[in-house]
């Protein structure tokens, strides 16, 4: 990616994390002639392009065309609907499939996947978690109102099983993670592309575990899987709404005041 385009992204209001993600995807995918709309369209609807990257690539290219002041391609791309195949919508994985991935994943990636599975946390929340977010009393991770990835801007807790919570504490102790340092920060060696690298690693482990839809094995699909499993096996929707950090007035606003004690009990009743 041209440094001038990178500066343009920052000047237009994009955060440094977003600009770095764009740079990563630009360098990875855009080895085509981006002035050829046919090739751009093929890239955005190709099954070879991971679902988690298609809409980001579209937004990236819209910004690029604005940067080079090509109004025609900007408007054509805005009108392009990035269609997902019906079987690719809201991909969910069974407990057995997730356990298979955990079994082949290297440490501490297996711990990270386990936490995604048990909590349904958004990727950016877990990857920005520090020891200061750990609540020893409740085996929980506390998410403040103003925290990266907390879209609803409400404080909430997610509960871990005793085994996973102990493993998390052991990892923090072994890494001697400072109170305000990212728990999984050492995995990325200060890489600017840690969000996308997480997706890539999970897809790699899912492929290694011979999961059918391995390209869709991302923190987002695990979040969907967590929610479905939670409800199917006895969890209450009120507790789930609180745990997922939802604040949609049409669907979940009335459930966000669920007490932590009830959340703890509901979560422990489910065999993760």
Q: Give tens-digit pLDDT for 100-119.
A: 999 999 999 999 999 999 99
- Mean pLDDT value of segment 203-227: 91
Q: 113 near 205, Cβ under 8 Å?
A: yes
Identify which of 62, 211, 203 has the alpha carbon closest to the alpha carbon of residue 123: 203
Going by their DSSP bridges, the two strands 156-159 and 140-143 should be labelled as antiparallel
Its pTM surpasses 0.85: no
∠ CA(184), CA(125), CA(227), 5° rounding? 115
How confident is the model at residue 185, as a pLDDT? 87
Lowest mean pLDDT among 189-193, 198-202, 222-226: 189-193
Going by their DSSP bridges, the two strands 134-135 and 140-143 should be labelled as antiparallel
Q: 184 near 127, Cβ under 8 Å?
A: yes
Measured torsion, CA atoms of residues 207, 28, 198, 172, in degrees rounded to the nearest 10? 130
Q: 77 near 61, Cβ under 8 Å?
A: yes
62-93 tens-digit pLDDT: 989 999 999 998 888 888 877 544 334 557 89
């Amino acid at each position: 990616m041209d440094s001038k385009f990178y500066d343009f992204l920052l000047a237009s209001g994009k955060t440094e994390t977003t600009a770095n993600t764009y740079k990563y995807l630009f360098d990875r995918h855009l080895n085509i002639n981006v002035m050829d709309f046919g090739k751009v369209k093929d890239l955005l609807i190709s099954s070879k392009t991971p679902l988690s990257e298609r809409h980001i690539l579209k937004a990236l290219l819209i910004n690029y065309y604005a940067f080079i002041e090509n109004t025609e391609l900007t408007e054509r791309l805005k009108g392009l609907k990035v269609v997902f195949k019906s079987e690719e919508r809201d991909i969910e994985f069974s407990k057995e499939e997730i356990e298979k991935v955990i079994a082949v994943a290297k440490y501490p990636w297996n711990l990270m996947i386990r936490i995604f599975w048990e909590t349904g946390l958004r990727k950016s929340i877990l990857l920005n978690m520090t020891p200061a977010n750990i609540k020893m009393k409740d085996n929980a991770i506390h998410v403040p109102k103003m925290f990266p990835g907390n879209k609803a801007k409400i404080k909430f807790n997610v509960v871990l099983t005793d085994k996973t919570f102990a493993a998390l504490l052991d990892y923090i102790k072994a890494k001697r993670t400072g109170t305000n340092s990212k728990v999984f920060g050492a995995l990325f060696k200060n890489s600017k592309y840690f969000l996308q690298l997480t997706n890539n690693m999970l897809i790699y482990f899912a492929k290694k575990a011979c999961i059918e839809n391995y390209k869709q094995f991302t923190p987002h699909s695990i979040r969907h899987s967590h929610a479905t499993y939670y409800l199917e096996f006895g969890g209450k929707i009120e507790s789930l709404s609180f745990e997922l950090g939802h604040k949609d007035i049409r669907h979940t606003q009335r459930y966000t005041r669920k007490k932590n004690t009830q959340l703890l009990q509901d979560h422990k009743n489910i065999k993760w």
